[in-house]
Amino acid sequence: MKKINWIKIMTGFVLLGFLVSMCGFKTGQLIKESALESAFLRVETISLNPAHLAGVSPISMEIRKLKSISVQYRQQSAKKVAGRAFNDQDSRPADVRVQPVLRLVPGGQSIGVKLNTLGVLVVGYHLVDSERGQASPGENAGIRVGDVITKINGKQMKSIADVQHMIAETTNKEPLKLTILRQKSQLRKTLVPAKDKYDRHYRLGLYIRDSASGIGTMTFYDPVTSSYGALGHVISDRDTGQPIQVHSGQIVRSTVQAIDKGTEGKPGEKIAFFPENALSIGSVNKNTPFGIYGHLKNDFDNRASRSSHALPVAFPEEVKEGPAQILTVLDGDKVQAFDIRIMNSIPQKYPATKGLVIKITDPRLLKATGGIVQGMSGSPIIQNGKLVGAVTHVFVSDPTCGYGVHIEWMLEEAGLKISAKHHERKAG
């Protein structure tokens, strides 16, 4: 009797264990299916409102998720897409980036750039013919070409006139205390001016400059913030080769009058003009490895404020080898589109120049310029209806080819965000 009861009890435990295991199996299926849908929905939700999930309980998540499933995923094909996305994430870590939402007006306009340096830039030495012979006091004091003089005797130097005024006050070989910027370091030097034996004026023995100008091409304009980016590369002093440290600056409209056609071994050039008293169309606040940046005035271009002219921007990984176009000016101020081919898009996780290799393919542009010419820097590159980058350099050995910069790095310098961009990695 006891044996029969023991058998019944054991049979009951086995049946109960089977039922529990069945429930566990079904619960596991539900969890896995829920995770599948949630993994796909999560990206879509973040793209619409990144802060929407903050502080949400698991239960409310499930309710919202199931409602979304009933609305968005009624068709079997959408479920298959979600399934494929989940399977891909299971097989390897996923790198998910929300699709860009920022839209910018592409440029292409020829612009004149006028910069005022931060302090005065030393661009060379000269000898002062004094009673003691010829010498350069600046060179003897350890001042180098490329240094920026920011203060003399504690007073801010903003222009050549400021320096001249300080020298005029010098008497009896009075030493001057100079504060200089050398790349990113601040140094102090003592300089004793020399008195020219002919005109009896004190001299530093330095050639200095307080401004620079040139031409380039507008890359983009944000109709919401009025921020712009241009050139795609840093502006350097023509004599020292050092990047110009900007105190202030402006951009103006310029007119292309002629083209000096490029050939192998000799880059061409846009010959453009802007009046000395041209009206400013925007400020220059930054001079960076990825171009110049600032804000445009409201009357820059009425058309630019229309959203219909704006294009979405592309992440570097969206850029493909193949056909594209650039916008630039060859005559007057008319912006035209020309065909190019993106030969290579270099993957870049961190900001870097020369991320694109491009080749001019448009017969009209090749006939007019021979390829990429100076003054074309900043010409926007468009592919598949998206702004992907800007022209920056020409190959001297082959002017039909050159480099471009990915637009993402220019936007970072301009303080613009492509979207609520983020990286997510799936655990397990």
Annotated catalytic sites, by residue? 233, 362, 377
Taking the mean position of all CA atoms in its chain, how far away is CA 109? 18
Q: Are strands 194-195 and 202-203 parallel, antiparallel or unpaired?
A: antiparallel
Q: Which two tokens stand for residue 55?
A: 């502080």
The whole-angstrom separation of Cα 243 and Cα 72 is: 53
The answer to whether 364 and 334 have CB atoms below 8 angstroms apart is no
